[in-house]
Amino acid sequence: MRTVGICRFSYAGEGGFKVGHADHAALEAFLYGDIRMEERFRLFEAITLPCVAGQTDPNFTFLIVTGTGLPAHHLARLHALTAHIPQCQIVQYPPRPHRRIMKKAVNDWRGAPDAPCLQFRLDDDDAMALSFIEKFKQAAADLGGLTARHPAIAIDFNQGYVFTASAGGVKLWPYHYQYSAIALGMVVQAGSDDTIMSHGHQNLWKAMPTLTLTGEDMMMRGHNDFNDSRLGGKKNVFEYKPMDAKQAAHIRASFGIDDDHVRAVFSRPL
């Protein structure tokens, strides 16, 4: 089944960010500031892209949605970072209501909704397990009896870690959380133009049947200085612990995140 992932990469839309800005110019100034972009690129390079490139099932598209206002030097860097990953497709949209553009990006990729498809989302500082696409497809197939009855169902994996990344490497806190925006997918039937971006991820299970799978580490949730959902003042405080050698090997094998690479990327001079 055709499979697409959608990733917002500092798309300057209307809404969709939890931090408010006075006008569009102020939003772009915030989003595309060099220090913020440097952190987003480092996370994207060291955390997110390795898990896209290393999927055990390579048969999917990874749509990276950014704004038409992304400065040329950032766009060039984004192209360079993803050039070797055939699943990556960078698409640019003008500033419009955020959710509408994300839906449009998914459905532009999809074309006429004459066949079912699989959709998933991943934010630009998070990682999904290298087995995600494979397991997502398998779960969708295993739920054939259920998917046939509903225009859309969601499939989620609820176990993993919250992490921070810095020159000191990755620090972890294990957690369970259902229907976070990581390792979360949707099976959309033919005839439905519903998309995974049409719903807040936390609200998916109010809108359709959902399955959450547990027992395996499938998500890495970034918690970093410029992480948008952390800027609202209600910070979750996790007791992050540095990884020992065994954990580092587990994280590398599960998510493609190499702690030495993380240290190297975050040690570059600004």
Partner 1 sequence: MQVLGICRFSYPAIGGFQVEHETIEERIAYLYDPARLEERFALFETVALPCLRAQTDPDFELIIVVGDQLPAPHLARLQALIADMPQARIIAEPPRPQREVMKAILNAARHDFSQPCLQFRCDDDDAVAVDFIARLRQAAADCAVLAGQHKAIALDWNKGYIAEYGPQGIAATDVFRPFDVAALGMLVQGNCHLTIMNFAHNKINQFMPAISFDAPRMFVRGHNASNDSRQKPVKGVPVRPLDHALAEEFRSRFAIDAGAVQRAFGGA
How far, in Å, CA of 21 to CA of 137, rounded?
39
Any bridge partners for residue 170, and if so which? 165
**Which positions from 126 through 145 interact with partner 1, judged by CB under 8 A?**
139, 141-145
**Which positions ≥6 away from 205 have C-beta within 8 Å?**
154, 178, 179
Determine, following the binding rule CB under 8 A, whether residue 211 of this chain makes contact with partner 1: yes
Closest contact distance (angstroms) between CB of 144 and partner 1 is: 7
Closest contact distance (angstroms) between CB of 143 and partner 1 is: 6
Determine, following the binding rule CB under 8 A, whether residue 205 of this chain makes contact with partner 1: yes
H runs (alpha helix) in the chain: 24-31, 34-43, 49-53, 72-82, 98-110, 132-142, 144-147, 245-255, 259-267
Closest contact distance (angstroms) between CB of 230 and partner 1 is: 24
The piece of 73-81, 115-123, 180-188, 210-218 that touches partner 1 (CB under 8 A) is: 210-218
- The smaller minimum CB distance to partner 1, of residues 59 and 214, is found at 214
Determine, following the binding rule CB under 8 A, whether residue 202 of this chain makes contact with partner 1: no
Determine, following the binding rule CB under 8 A, whether residue 1 of this chain makes contact with partner 1: no
Angle subtended at Cα 193 by Cα 188 and Cα 119, rounded to the nearest 5 degrees: 40
With residues binned 3-state (H G I as helix, E B as strand, rest as coil), the percentages for the chain, rounded to 5, are 35, 25, 40
How far, in Å, CA of 219 to CA of 77, rounded?
26
Any bridge partners for residue 5, and if so which? 62, 120
Determine, following the binding rule CB under 8 A, whether residue 146 of this chain makes contact with partner 1: yes
Residue choice 210, 224, 229, 247 for contact with partner 1 (CB under 8 A): 210
- The smaller minimum CB distance to partner 1, of residues 95 and 209, is found at 209
Q: Say what angle helices 34-43 and 24-31 make with each other, to 10 degrees.
A: 50
- The smaller minimum CB distance to partner 1, of residues 204 and 220, is found at 204
Determine, following the binding rule CB under 8 A, whether residue 183 of this chain makes contact with partner 1: no
Determine, following the binding rule CB under 8 A, whether residue 233 of this chain makes contact with partner 1: no
Task: Find out whether 210 and 138 touch, Cβ atoms under 8 Å.
Answer: no
- The smaller minimum CB distance to partner 1, of residues 20 and 144, is found at 144
Residues of this chain that interact with partner 1 (CB under 8 A) are 139, 141-146, 149, 158-159, 176, 178, 205-215
